[in-house]
Amino acid sequence: MQQIFNELKIMNKKYVDMTPKQAQELIDSINSSNLDDNSREVATSSIDLVLWLQNELRESKLSIKRLRHLFGIKTEKKSPQLTKLQQALMMIQD
């Protein structure tokens, strides 16, 4: 976890540590604000996601592989497979 904190400092990002109670108070404050519904949903969902990620990382339940999967990040580009029809058409053109 300390390595993550150090990397955040290098990237000029601030790590905010809050208790679940503090997070809930912040979410309650956002929900009672005059933000529109969409902005309120984005803000509260972002807080929930960050807290979940922090907990998963702290408990070592989250691997880089799982993170990539959760966010839909693919590490290898697969070349498209030609269908048999496309292969046949290429052969005819040659």
Q: For residue 73, what pLDDT is reported?
A: 74
Per the CB < 8 A criterion, the answer to whether 94 and 37 are in contact is no
Q: What is the DSSP letter of 1?
A: -
Q: pLDDT digits over 36-56, tens only?
A: 999 999 999 989 888 888 788
- Map out the domains of the chain as residue ranges: 2-93
Distances from the Cα of 16 to the Cα of 9, 19, 32, 86, angstroms? 12, 10, 22, 54
30: confidence class by pLDDT, cuts 50, 70, 90:
very high
pTM for this entry: 0.56
